[in-house]
Structure 1
Amino acid sequence: MPLKEEHIRLIFGLKMRQLRNRKNLSLYGLSKKSGLSKSYLNEIENGKKYPKQDKILELATALDTSYDEMVSLKLDQNLAPLGDILESGVLKELPLSLFGIAEHDLINIISNAPSKVNAFISTIIEIAKSYNLGIEGFYLAALRSYQEAENNFFVDLENAAVRFAEAYQINLEEHIVSDDLKAILEEEYGYTIVDNGIEKDPMLNNLRSVFVPDSKKLLLSSAIDEAQRSFIFGKEIAYNYLELMVRPYTFSWIKYNSFDEVLHNFYASYFSGALMLPRKNLKEKLTGLLQSTKWEESQFKDLISSFKTSPETVYQRLTNILPHDFGFRDLFFLRFIHKQGEPHFTLNKELHVTQRQKPSTRDYRAHYCRRWISIKTLQHISISPEDHFFGAQVSVYQNGNKYLVLSSSTPDPFVANQYRSVSLGILITPHLQKKYPFLNHHDLEEVQVGITCESCPITNCEVRAVPPKRLLKAQHFKETECKVEELMSMHGKDSKT
C-alpha cells in the first residue's frame, strides 16, 4: 500500500526529530544552525509541513547528514515498526474517531517510544492470536466498546425510527407486519423480494438473507418466520433510509471487510429493533412490570410474547431502554449456543453496560459456570419439546455482587439440534432496591456462582465440569514461594547454619 502524503510528512518529521535528538539539539538550537524559524521546524516535526528542496538541504547540512537520507522513507530500526503500521494502512481501519482519538496523536505516542510501543503492539498481536482474534474479532470488540461507552443508547437512531414511521405512515402503536415493510422496500427503494431464494445447502443454512446490490434482489431463507422477515426488512430499510452505503450483504454476516461495515450493520439492527419494539410502547409496559411490589415471572414472559418478535430482539432492546430510561446502569447481555449432546457451551455475544460486569471472560476454551441460568435454560431446552424456555435466578458472585439474571432459550431454526440462550443480568444495588421493590420481594433462588470452572473456588459444586486447575496452579506457586522464603531465611546471614 503506497504511503499517503500525510504519512510521508509524518515520517520526515519523525526522522528530523530523531536526528536532532542525536545531535543533542533543541528546536531553538537547530533553528540557529539552519536559519529556519523554530515554529516552522516544529510544524515539520509534527507532520504538518513538508519542506521544499532548498530547506531540506539546509536541514541536512545542519544535522550533518545527506539530502538522500533526509528524504528517504526508510526508517531506522527504532522507527521501523511505525513505518510498517503506516504502510499497512491499519490506522485507517481502526475506528479511532469513535473514541475521540486523532491518528496523529497515536502516531506521536508510537514515535516517542517506538521500541516500547512496538513491544506492546507485538504483545497485543500475540494475545489476539492466542484467542483466535482476527481483524473481524477486533472490529467487533471495538463496536462493543463503542456501545458500552454510549450506554448502548443512540438517540439519533431512536429519533430516525420515529421520523421514518411518521413519513411512511407506519403505526408504531400496533404490531408491524412484514408486508408493510416489504411494500416500502419494493416501491420506495426498488427491491425485488425473492422468497426461498437461498438454496437448501448445508453451507448456507446459517444465512437468513442475501442482498444482491446490482439487481437489488433480497434473497430470503425458507427457514425464517414472520418476526425474522420483519426484522430483515427493517434492516434493509435502515441501510437506505439512513444512507448507510458501506454494508454487509449477508445476514448473518460471513465476513466484515471494514469497521464501517460492522458499525453500519449495528446501526441498521438498532433501527430495525426500534421499529419492532418502539421505545414508547416498551417503556409503558416496562413501567407496569417494574412498579410491581413482587417479582412475577408471568409478567415478564407476557412482555416478551406481546411484541411478537424473538426473545433475543426483546433482550437486546432492553439493553437500550433499561439503562437510559429506568436507571439500570450496570447490566450485561449474553448469548450462548449449544449443540445437543456436546459438553461445551459457546459464548458468542456479550455486552456490558456501563462497566465490565461479571460474568466476563475471553477464554473461549474454558468451561463456563454450569450454575449460570444461561447454561441451565440451554440444558433444559435441549431435552425438551418446548419452543421457548424461560428461567430466572439471583446470581451471587465471589465479590458479593448480586445480579437478577433473566434467560430465554430457544431452538436454533437454522441448525438442527442446536440451541441458543439469551440472558440479561441486572446488578442489584441498594438504590435500585429502594426504587423497585420487586428486587427485594421475590421467590427466586439465590445461587453462588463463579465465572469458569477452571478458576472457580466453590468447593462443593455439584455441576463442576473440570477441576479448578488455575486455582490449583496458583496455590502450588504460592506454596512453592513460601518454601523458597523459608529456605532463604534458613541460609541467610543471620541464620545459625
Structure 2
Amino acid sequence: MAINTDNVKLVFGLKLKQLRLDKGLSLSELSQKSGLSLSYINEIEKGKKYPKSDKIIALAKAMDVDYDTLVSLKLSKRLEPISELLSSNILTELPLELFGIDPANLLEILSDAPTKISAFVGTLIEIARNYNMSIEKFYFSALRTYQEMHDNYFEDIELEAERFLTFHDVPGLALLDEIQLAGILTNNYNYKIEDINEKANPEFASVRSLTIPGNQGHRLLINTHLSSVQRAFIYGREIGYHYLNLKNRLHTTALVEAESFEQLLNNFKASYFASAIIIRRSLLIPKLADFLLLKTWQPEMLIAMIHDFNTTPESFFYRVSNVLPQYFGINQIYFSRFNNFAGQNLFDMTKEMHISRKHYPHTVRDEHYCRRWVALTILNDLAELKENKLAPNILCKAQKSTYVDSQDEYLVISFAQPTVTTPNLNVSVSMGIFLDEQTKEKLGFLQDSAIPHRIVNQTCERCSLFDCKERIAAPIILQKKFKNEALRNALKRLIK
C-alpha cells in the first residue's frame, strides 16, 4: 500500500487506537502498562506524533503484540476504506483549506471514530465505483465545487488581470487580439509558436494546443484548425500561467493528463485570467446592463457581444457567469455544454457548473435527457440548417422552461455552433437562470412572446408527461417509483 509519508503517523495512530480498543484498554490503562504519558498516547492516536522505536516497543509489549505488527502499514479489514482513502493521497493532494476544512481537524475526525468513519468512507467509495468515478473525475468535481462555492468569481485574479493590462499600456476601451497576445508571449516570455504537425503526430489531431517547456524558451504548438478567437484564448492562458506564477501546470488542452488537483486548479486560474484580459469586466458589465434592460428578446445583441470581445460562446457565457452574481445579483444560474453529432439523436453533457444551488439540468448517467430542452433542440436546428446550407456561424435561442414536477422556472439561453477539430460534431452551450420574483424583475425582455415556453423534465425515464411527442424512452424509473409507493401504502394499510 503506497501511502504518502504525511499519512504514516495517522495510520500508526489508527492502528494503535484500534488495537487498544480490541484489547479492552482505556487510555489511562495503556499509559500505566507502557509507562508513557496519557497525553502523549492521545497525540499518537490522533496522528499528530510518531513515537521512537523504544516507545513503540513499550506500546507493543503493553498490548501483547509484536513490534512488526504495530509498525506495519497494513490496516485491519474494518479500516480498509480509510486505507484506500489514504492510498489515493487525496488528503495530501487536495488543498482542503480551499474548502474551509482544516486538514488537522479532518485527521482528528478519522482517528476519533475510525470504524464508523471507515464505514462512511466505504459507502462513498462504493458510490464512486458504481459511477466509474476515477481520481481524475474526483478532481474535476472538487474543482467545480470550488468554483461554485465562490459564485465562480475571483477578485484576486480580476485585479491581476487589470494590473497586467495597465502594465502593457492597453487603453481602457481597447480589446486584446490574437496578434497582440502572441507578441506578448514571444517577446516577454520567450515563446516560439508553431503549428501541430498532424501527419507526424496524428494522436494530436484533436488537441488544441501543446506546450513544450525548455531552458532556451517554450514551444507552443497550435492546432491549424483553430480560429483566431480560439488561438487568442490559448495565448492568454499561457500568459496567465506565467503572470500568476503558476508552476505546476498542464501542457495540453487534453485535461486527461491531469495528475493532481493543483494542476487542474492552476489551469482554471490561468483560463480565468485569459478571460479577464480578453473580456474586460469594465466593458462587459455596461453591455450586459443594457441587454438586460431590453424589452424585446434580441439574440443578435448577444452574438454581437461575442464578436466584439473576440471570444467564443463558451468563453463568453463563462465570463458572464463571473459577473452576473457579483454585479447584478443574479446568482442562481447554471452552465452546461452538450455535444451532438449531426443526424444522431444522442446528446452528451460534457461540462456543467451550478451557482448557489444544484439546478436542472444536471448530469445523469444512462438516461435520456429531456428532448424539449433548448440546449438539445438548438443542436437539431443547427444540423438542419447546415444540411440546407443555411447555418450561421453562431445560432442563439432562448426558452422559458417549467419543470413538471417541481414547477421550477428557468430562462435558458443557448448558443450552438460546429466544432473545428471534429467533423459533423456540433456543440451547444447554455446558461439557465432560475426565475424567482427578484430575478424576473431584472430581465426586461422576459415577457416577450418571441421566447417560447415549454414544460420540461430531467430525463425521459423520470417523466410523467406520457403524451410527450419527443419522448424516446419509457418512464421506467418513474414507474418503479409508483410501484414502490403503492407497495408502501399497501403495507401501511395492512399494518393498520
TM-score by length of 2: 0.91
Superposition deviation, residue 353 in structure 1: 0.6
Cα displacement string for residues 362-420 of structure 1 (whole angstroms, at most 9, x for unaligned residues) = 31x21111111101110000121322111101111121211111001001111111100
Cα displacement string for residues 141-168 of structure 1 (whole angstroms, at most 9, x for unaligned residues) = 1111111011100111111111111112
Superposition deviation, residue 186 in structure 1: 1.0
Confirm or deny: 8 A CA contact 1:93 1:259 kept in the other structure: yes
Please give the alpha-carbon distance, in whole angstroms, between the structure 2 residues aligned to 1:30 and 1:455. Answer: 57
1:241 to 240, 243, 254: 243
Q: Is 1:226 matched with 2:232?
A: no
Confirm or deny: 8 A CA contact 1:136 1:255 kept in the other structure: no
Which residue of the partner structure matches residue 378 of structure 1? 379
Please give the alpha-carbon distance, in whole angstroms, between the structure 1 residues aligned to 2:68 and 2:470. Answer: 69
Identify if the C-alpha distance between structure 1 residues 188 and 298 changes in structure 2 by more than 3 Å, giving closer, same or farther.
Answer: closer
Q: Which secondary structure state, in structure 2, belongs to the residue aligned with residue 40 of structure 1? A: helix
Which residue of the partner structure matches residue 495 of structure 1? none
C-alpha RMSD of matched pairs (Å): 2.5
Query: Please, which moves more after superposition, 95-104 or 341-350?
Result: 95-104
Superposition deviation, residue 72 in structure 1: 3.6
Superposition deviation, residue 343 in structure 1: 1.5
Please give the alpha-carbon distance, in whole angstroms, between the structure 2 residues aligned to 1:8 and 1:479. Answer: 52
Identify if the C-alpha distance between structure 1 residues 291 and 368 changes in structure 2 by more than 3 Å, giving closer, same or farther.
Answer: same
Please give the alpha-carbon distance, in whole angstroms, between the structure 2 residues aligned to 1:269 and 1:383. Answer: 33
Which residue of the partner structure matches residue 416 of structure 2? 409
For 1:474-489, list aligned pairs within 5 A. 474-482=481-489, 488=494
Which residue of the partner structure matches residue 97 of structure 1? 97
Please give the alpha-carbon distance, in whole angstroms, between the structure 1 residues aligned to 2:126 and 2:195. Answer: 45
Confirm or deny: 8 A CA contact 1:428 1:439 kept in the other structure: no
Cα displacement string for residues 471-490 of structure 1 (whole angstroms, at most 9, x for unaligned residues) = 1222233345555667x57x
Please give the alpha-carbon distance, in whole angstroms, between the structure 2 residues aligned to 1:372 and 1:80. Answer: 44
For 1:215-364, list aligned pairs within 5 A. 216-363=218-365
Query: Please, which moves more after superposition, 465-474 or 332-341?
Result: 465-474
For 1:55-134, list aligned pairs within 5 A. 55-134=55-134
How many residues are treated as equivalent by the alignment?
A: 488
Confirm or deny: 8 A CA contact 1:369 1:452 kept in the other structure: yes
Please give the alpha-carbon distance, in whole angstroms, between the structure 1 residues aligned to 2:48 and 2:349. Answer: 46
Superposition deviation, residue 358 in structure 1: 1.2
Cα displacement string for residues 293-327 of structure 1 (whole angstroms, at most 9, x for unaligned residues) = 44433433333332232111111111111011110
Identity of aligned residues (%): 39
Which residue of the partner structure matches residue 142 of structure 2? 142
Cα displacement string for residues 338-369 of structure 1 (whole angstroms, at most 9, x for unaligned residues) = 00121111110000011101112331x21111
Please give the alpha-carbon distance, in whole angstroms, between the structure 2 residues aligned to 1:302 and 1:470. Answer: 43
Identify if the C-alpha distance between structure 1 residues 288 and 133 changes in structure 2 by more than 3 Å, giving closer, same or farther.
Answer: same
2:345 aligned partner, one-letter code? P
Superposition deviation, residue 109 in structure 1: 3.6
Superposition deviation, residue 172 in structure 1: 5.0
Please give the alpha-carbon distance, in whole angstroms, between the structure 1 residues aligned to 2:151 and 2:200. Answer: 40
Please give the alpha-carbon distance, in whole angstroms, between the structure 2 residues aligned to 1:87 and 1:350. Answer: 29
Please give the alpha-carbon distance, in whole angstroms, between the structure 1 residues aligned to 2:307 and 2:113. Answer: 56
Please give the alpha-carbon distance, in whole angstroms, between the structure 1 residues aligned to 2:84 and 2:126. Answer: 17
Please give the alpha-carbon distance, in whole angstroms, between the structure 1 residues aligned to 2:272 and 2:484. Answer: 48
Superposition deviation, residue 292 in structure 1: 3.0
Superposition deviation, residue 456 in structure 1: 1.1
Which residue of the partner structure matches residue 447 of structure 1? 454
Which residue of the partner structure matches residue 153 of structure 1? 153
TM-score by length of 1: 0.90
Q: Which secondary structure state, in structure 2, belongs to the residue aligned with residue 250 of structure 1? A: coil
Please give the alpha-carbon distance, in whole angstroms, between the structure 1 residues aligned to 2:37 and 2:110. Answer: 26
Superposition deviation, residue 84 in structure 1: 4.3
Please give the alpha-carbon distance, in whole angstroms, between the structure 2 residues aligned to 1:19 and 1:129. Answer: 30
Confirm or deny: 8 A CA contact 2:370 2:457 kept in the other structure: yes
Cα displacement string for residues 96-115 of structure 1 (whole angstroms, at most 9, x for unaligned residues) = 33212344443444444445
